[in-house]
């Protein structure tokens, strides 16, 4: 039995080392929300699962390093003693620390360790899937790369304008729950998904096109949104790095392509006098 456990641990060590090599460069200079970023990197195709893990463990996208380190310590206490994690931390990670140099991040050692803890939290299957996908992508890129050609620059991020028509009661409930969101004009990720779920009409396009579509809407911009009302409210949220959402015609795909990071700014919201001008919107 001891031999089997040792073999299993060796396989796990190799897996977590491989994942660490892939993920650490993406967060090496971060000093806020490291665990949150690591988990969402590893679960890049399963954002809702990543959100659930973070909610269940108290991981916050704006958490300081010492808060992440406290959560990491709590997770280790739940691990069985004498497993490979002690060796992993005391030996391999310490060896890595002697070779790494990031002068802009004095808390580098904490970041190094948090990447490993994030891997533990998502689990073995997710790590295997992430490692295999990354290696497959790297092999594919190598085959398709032309010799002596310069790499193509990444596409410029595009701000998406998400235009929704929702019941007044949804806006009132959201504003009562998070008044700061409407004061600061910045929405939480989960609140934006709630708005999408309750929309009767929607359109996701670029900022310029959204502004032109608004011109034909009849909005009561000087009226307060009434409580306990069935009035329809138009709300527009600008989402930076939202290029994957533009021109999508399904609420499910909108939510799936909603970026986890970046700003979600409320640009405008007001009651509609009628439904005129919504002909170019998608109706649910």
pLDDT digits (tens, 9 = 90+) for 28-56: 778 788 889 999 898 887 888 888 888 88
What span, in angstroms and rounded, lies between the C-alpha atoms of 106 and 86?
23
- Where along the chain do its domains lie? 2-144, 160-283
pLDDT score of 83? 45
pLDDT digits (tens, 9 = 90+) for 188-204: 888 999 999 999 999 99
| Most confident by average pLDDT, 4-18, 100-114, 192-206 | 192-206
Q: Which residue bears the tokens 């609420």?
A: 251
Of 200, 198, 181, nearest in space to 263 by CA: 181
Can you read off the two tokens belonging to residue 237?
Answer: 């949220």
The residue ranking higher by pLDDT, 11 or 237, is: 237
Number of Cβ atoms within 10 Å of the Cβ of 131: 20
pLDDT score of 196? 94
- Predicted confidence (pLDDT) at residue 145 exceeds the cutoff of 60: no
Of 101, 108, 229, nearest in space to 167 by CA: 229
* Beta pairing partners, 283: 201
pTM of the model: 0.48
What is the sign, positive or negative, of the torsion defined by CA atoms of 62, 246, 249, 42?
negative
Least confident among 99-103, 131-135, 171-175, 272-276: 99-103
- Predicted confidence (pLDDT) at residue 245 exceeds the cutoff of 80: yes
- Predicted confidence (pLDDT) at residue 87 exceeds the cutoff of 50: no
- Predicted confidence (pLDDT) at residue 282 exceeds the cutoff of 90: yes
pLDDT score of 80? 42
Say if residues 164 and 205 touch (Cβ distance below 8 Å).
no
Can you read off the two tokens belonging to residue 206?
Answer: 């670029």
Can you read off the two tokens belonging to residue 108?
Answer: 């580098």
Proportion of the chain above pLDDT 70, given as a percent? 77
pLDDT score of 266? 92
Mean pLDDT of the chain: 79
pLDDT score of 230? 81
pLDDT score of 228? 73
| Section 88-106 average pLDDT | 51
pLDDT score of 1? 36
* Beta pairing partners, 232: 167
pLDDT score of 149? 55
């Amino acid at each position: 039995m001891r031999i089997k456990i040792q073999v299993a641990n060796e396989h796990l060590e190799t897996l977590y080392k491989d994942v660490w090599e892939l993920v650490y460069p993406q967060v090496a200079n971060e000093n806020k929300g490291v665990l949150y970023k690591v988990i969402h990197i590893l679960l890049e195709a399963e954002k809702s699962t990543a959100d659930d893990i973070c909610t269940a463990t108290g991981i916050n996208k704006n958490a300081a390093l010492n808060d992440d380190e406290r959560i990491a310590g709590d997770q280790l206490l739940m691990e069985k003693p004498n497993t490979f994690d002690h060796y992993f931390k005391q030996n391999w990670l310490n060896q890595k620390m002697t070779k790494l140099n990031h002068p802009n991040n004095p808390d580098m050692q904490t970041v190094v360790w948090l990447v490993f803890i994030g891997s533990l939290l998502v689990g073995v299957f997710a790590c295997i899937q992430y490692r295999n996908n990354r290696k497959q992508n790297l092999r594919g890129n190598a085959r398709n790369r032309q010799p002596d050609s310069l790499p193509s620059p990444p596409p410029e991020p595009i701000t998406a304008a998400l235009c929704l028509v929702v019941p007044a009661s949804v806006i009132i409930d959201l504003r009562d729950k998070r008044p700061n969101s409407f004061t600061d004009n910045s929405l939480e990720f989960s609140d934006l998904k709630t708005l999408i779920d309750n929309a009767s009409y929607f359109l996701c396009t670029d900022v310029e096109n959204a502004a032109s579509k608004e011109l034909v809407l009849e909005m009561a911009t000087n009226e307060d949104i009434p409580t306990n009302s069935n009035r329809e409210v138009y709300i527009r949220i600008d989402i930076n790095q939202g290029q994957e959402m533009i021109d999508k015609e399904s609420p499910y795909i909108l939510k799936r392509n909603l970026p986890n990071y970046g700003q979600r700014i409320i640009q405008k919201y007001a009651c509609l006098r009628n439904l005129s001008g919504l002909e170019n919107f998608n109706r649910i």
